[in-house]
Chain A
Amino acid sequence: MEEVLKSRSGDAVKKQKVKNIIIMLLPIAALVVLFAVYVAIILANDYNLAINLETIVNQAIVLVLVATGAIFIFTLGSFDISLGASTLFSATVGILVFNATGSLLLLFLTCIAVAVACSLLNSVLSSVFHLPMFVMTVAMLSVLTSIAGTIITTNSTSAGANPAISVSDSVLRDILGSVDTVWFKVLILALFAVVCIFVFNFTKVGRRQKFLGGNPVCAKMTGIPLSVYGIIAFVMAGIGVGLGAAVNVTYTMSVSTGTASDIGMSVFIAIVFGGMPISGGARSRIYAAIVGGFSYIILNNILNLLLSSVDGRYGYVQIISAVLFLAIVYVASINYRVKHLPR
């Protein structure tokens, strides 16, 4: 009997390992499939593949940069609804500094510094007032959007209805243009992703973040205070937002009140697409931001192409994305509930 049980148990261990690998690879497989579908649609319609792929990278890179940093917040089981507002605000300050100095380095440093400051304000205030972090981010969303809107309106260089601050000086535009390349952006993303993966997986800080997200009470009883690691998470997210804001300025060479307006929700959807558990914790992965970010953008582009002749296309794309988001969360939660049953 024992031998039968052992052999059955051995088989089940193998099955479980295979299942885990499949679950881990599923988001990557989904990205590959989406990419293949996208390429097929482009080729079938005789569109220029190179240009369209470059567009994908340009659209995705800001989202992925912000999402990669935000993984640290989501790992804690929290979320930051003000990511978009923070991106807008840092891009606004960044473009003003760039217009004044013409320095690329200062553009990046300013964007990062402003975004980190916003993030720190979120986490420190929530710690001081003993409020959940996401509650602070809701307030910060309004505050940052208003301040950025005021700055943009006051300093608008646009004559149209939509106020915007642009880089109008041709020399400055050339400077921005020099780094507006796919390779530069991919390099920025790669460097940031490597730093995040290192911190997340190979340092005490990252391990503690994941543990904290899984059970904050137990983490506290293990000497891991939420306030400290919350601040670290928001700083990492701030760096991602800053980089995203700076890259956005190099690409668009302008900032309007609509810049990055939907990035907060897009980040949320993207990381779930990438296989990140909505509850954070031990199963959190940095690659979820990268895989999910690209999947989300490619999916949006596919839907836009497929629905190109339909009125109200934007609405349909959003609804389909939302349904897919719910489906993924539902399937993930079923998997979680099954595992969570007591013995």
Chain B
Amino acid sequence: MDQVINTTARREEILKVRGMTKTFGPVVALNNVDLTLRKGDVLGLIGENGSGKSTITSIVAGMQKATKCDGMYYKGEEWKPSSMLDALDCCGKGRGGIGMVVQESGTIPGITVAENIFLGELGQFRLFQMKNGKSFGPVRRKKLFAAADEALKKAGIEHIPAKAPMAALDFQSRKLVEIAKVILKDPDVLIIDETSTALAQDGREILYKIINSFRGTDKAVIFISHDLDEIMDVCDTLTVLRDGNIIRTFERAEYDPDEIRKAMIGREMHGDYYRSDFEPACGEEVALKAEDVCLGESLKHVSLELHRGEILGIGGLAQCGMHELGKVLFGSLAPKSGRVTAGEDREVRSEAVAIKYGMGYVSKDRDVESLNLSASIKDNIAIAGMDKYAVKNFLILDSREKKYVDRQIDELSIKCSGRDQLVQQLSGGNKQKVVFGKWIGCGSEILILDCPTRGVDIGVKQAMYRLMTKLKGEGKAILLISEELPELMGMSDRILIMKDGEVKKQFMRSRELTDADVIGYMI
């Protein structure tokens, strides 16, 4: 069971985990797992959603405790961090600990970037510093901002001002701030949990630069990603987890995508990953229309038409305005000028109106905007579809509701202990399936999908692509916003590339279309 990285066997161990088990209520997330990480390694962890990748790393990083563990050792000493801060602080030693960038947002929106970076450590910036190390008085904000700017620079992030309020940043920038916050502490082990999917290419480059600075040194990186190409490219070794067990570790020389996939899902993958046809096809009827939409610097005179039976891809870098466009189309953001209409000239002014006109929206920020984490699968799926099963459009009967929810659970193969399981206990892919179930169940005719496969493993990704193809076949209109070019090219009938809030270029679906054709219009 112990997965030692053979090629680096000469190097000293930095982290060793023995017999780790973790259960979440009914779910066995980790089953007696052993793992060894050596200095200089960039170790990739890969596996389907719910395989235990985030669980093992979050325990190592002090976020939670193992249910049972025979031993956890860091630099040869017993490792028992009481919190993430404690782990980052190397259990009181100050520096050289274990830092983790988490999968979902780990920043606080109501304060500035600088305050987020120095959260819990603002004392060092207070006006009065005592000899005993204590401090009081107001925070010297100039000094704080300068230090935060320095921390961002150290991480290679220079476009985010330390003074900026966190809430004003997009998802990518918030993730980059988290990275800077961890790097500031000079961790000797850096854990990056499914972070790159929140980043566009420019953000990923920053991340890769940081990872490379750890490679071959006395430090090490654990990198978690669902992007097989990326993880094979970035990591020296790959450890595959499935259902809480370590299945196999691949050396770089052994990398074979099919073998890795097989190890991940326990079977061969059959059929096409993306759409197999290369002919753009859609209905005549316009389902959704944006006319000359403007929204500050985010959107400048954007017009588009989405037809029934069409998958319209929107691509670009993270700050190109595509995420804002999705929200404007769904009525969540009011445009400064221009209008959005659904069907026969019915103006979309709010989310409630959009839903009334048969629209559904899958947000990139899934845990905040698409799911109620403290509620059950049943509550989350049922909430948008009550018109479908309520008696007289008013009365909710348990039997009808259960039938409605169970149908979505079955059709989308949501892995859960039952409809009453809390959504927060599900893995990323299954959470996303719940979001799909919420909008498909209520019969949405127009779906706006903003990075729908973010943080989703390849098995679920394939299932989602098939579902999108099926929905297209049923005449549904799909707007696919994505930062992944292969996904856009693999699934869209048309692709609109955005840059600086404007639509720069339109590409039609074609077998000949390549990344190189598209990238030039994004950058």
Instruction: Say whether A342 contacts B26, CB under 8 Å.
Output: no
Task: Determine if B382 and A207 form an interchain contact, defined as CB atoms under 8 angstroms apart.
Answer: yes
If the complex has contacts A211-B372, A218-B369, A282-B375, are A342 and B104 also in contact, measured as CB distance less than 8 A? yes
Given contacts A214-B374, A222-B384, contact A342 B352 (CB under 8 A): no
Most buried by B among A219, A341, A342: A342
- With a cutoff of 8 Å between Cβ atoms, the chain A residues found around residue B516 in the complex are none
Contacts of A202 in B (CB 8 A): 395-397
Least distance between A12 CB and chain B CB atoms (Å): 4
Mark interface residues in B3-32 (1 if CB within 8 Å of A CB, else 0).
000000000000000000001111111010
B467 vs chain A, min Cβ distance (A): 20
Interface positions, chain A 179-211, Cβ under 8 Å from B, are 201-204, 206-208, 210-211
Q: How far is the CA of A219 from the CA of B63 in the complex (A)?
A: 28
- The total of chain A residues at the interface (CB under 8 A) is 40
- Interface residue total, chain B, C-beta cutoff 8 A: 58
The answer to whether the Cβ of A9 comes within 8 Å of any Cβ in the partner chain is yes
A interface majority secondary structure: helix
Q: Is the CB of B386 within 8 A of A221?
A: no
Taking the complex as formed, is B417 at the interface, i.e. its CB lies under 8 A from any CB of chain A?
yes
B 207-232 to A, binary, CB cutoff 8 A, 1 in contact else 0: 00000000000000000000000000
A242 sits at the interface (CB 8 A): no
**Given A203-B396, A339-B422, also A215-B374 (CB < 8 A):** yes
Interface residues of A in 193-245 (CB under 8 A from B): 201-204, 206-208, 210-211, 214-215, 217-225
- Pairwise interchain contact B243-A5, C-beta atoms closer than 8 A: yes
Is B453 interfacial (CB 8 A cutoff)? no
**With known contacts A339-B424, A341-B63, A9–B28 Cβ distance under 8 A:** yes
Whether the Cβ atoms of A214 and B375 lie closer than 8 Å is yes
Kindly identify, within residues 229 to 248 of chain B, every residue whose CB is under 8 Å from any CB belonging to chain A. Answer: 243-245
What residues of A have a CB within 8 angstroms of the CB of B245 in the complex? Answer: 1
In the bound complex, residues from chain A placing their C-beta under 8 Å from that of B361 are 221
Render B362-380 as a binary contact track against A, CB cut-off 8 A, 1 for contact: 0100001111111110010
**A223 / chain B contacts, CB cutoff of 8 Å:** 350-352, 354-356, 384
- Report B416-430 residues with CB < 8 Å from chain A CB: 417-418, 422, 424-427
Q: Looking at the assembled complex, report how far the CB atom of A224 sits from the nearest CB atom of chain B, in whole angstroms.
A: 8
B26 touches A343 (CB 8 A): no
Tell me whether A12 and B28 are in contact (CB under 8 A): yes
| CB nearest neighbor in A for B370 | A218
In Å, the complex CA distance between A206 and B417 comes to 26
Interface status of A283 (Cβ within 8 A of chain B): yes
Chain B residues engaging chain A, CB cutoff 8 angstroms: 23-29, 31, 50, 54-55, 58, 63-64, 102-104, 243-245, 330, 332, 350-352, 354-356, 361, 363, 368-376, 379, 382-384, 386, 390, 393-397, 417-418, 422, 424-427, 438
